[in-house]
Amino acid sequence: MEKEQNTNSNETDNKDLENKENTETSQVQKKDIDLKDEINPEEKILELEDKLARTFAEMENQRRRFEKEKDEAYEYGGFAFAKEAISLIDNLDRSKQILTNDDTLKNSVALKKTLEHLDIIYKDLISIFSKNNIKPIESLNKKLDPNFHQAMIEIEDDEKEPGIIIQEIQKGFTIKDRLLRPSLVGVSKKTENEEKENEKNKEKLDNK
């Protein structure tokens, strides 16, 4: 009986010892894992410096974007209004054209005075626009520039070089360095006879 008790006691002691050893082993392994997970202080500093530099760079980019948007809002905030306002010029031009083409008013004093008043209003509008950096585009007798002009028709004219603006259908405007709207224009082109003559001369040169 005593022998059995001693045996059981020894088994219990062995189990306790084994459990203790397992616990100690687990604690040592956990410490090893924790040590592995720890980042070197210098690497941690470098990582934080990199994050800080990225944050400052992003803040600077946002500041620049904000400054650019603010400047554009100040410089071109009236762009939409200006685009609408220049329709007044169009209406004045149409009114003058209608009055001038009215047979019942031709050569009348009333027509002359009305056109004079419309011209005064036109000049005042152009002056007000110019003070606000809204300026008409010079077109007549200029070479067609796709950045400022839009060709609507071609007009035969042997006295002008091809592509010269000889008619302004609708006046274009700029606001500061931006195009508000292009000028609608008619450009010169050679007559058919002139074109045929040029083609013949070119063929003769090519055959030589």
Q: Does the structure show a pLDDT above 50 at 4?
A: no
What is the reported pLDDT for 184?
A: 94
pLDDT tens string 125-140: 989 998 888 899 999 9
Q: Does the structure show a pLDDT above 70 at 152?
A: yes
What is the reported pLDDT for 160?
A: 85
Q: Which stretches of the chain are DSSP H helices?
A: 2-37, 41-76, 79-85, 87-101, 109-131, 192-207
- What letter represents residue 107's amino acid? N
Fold that domain 136-208 belongs to in CATH = Nucleotide Exchange Factor Grpe; Chain A, domain 2 (2.30.22)
Residue extents of the structural domains in the chain: 2-73, 78-132, 136-208
- Cα(115)–Cα(118) distance, integer angstroms: 5
Q: By C-alpha distance, which of 99, 100, 179, 93 is closest to 134?
A: 179
pLDDT tier for residue 70 given thresholds of 50, 70 and 90: low
Q: What tokens does 35 get?
A: 């040590």
Which phi and psi (to 5°) does residue 80 adopt? -65, -40
- Cα(101)–Cα(99) distance, integer angstroms: 5
Count of other CB atoms within 10 angstroms of residue 122: 16
pLDDT tens string 11-30: 555 555 555 555 555 554 55
pTM, entire model: 0.56
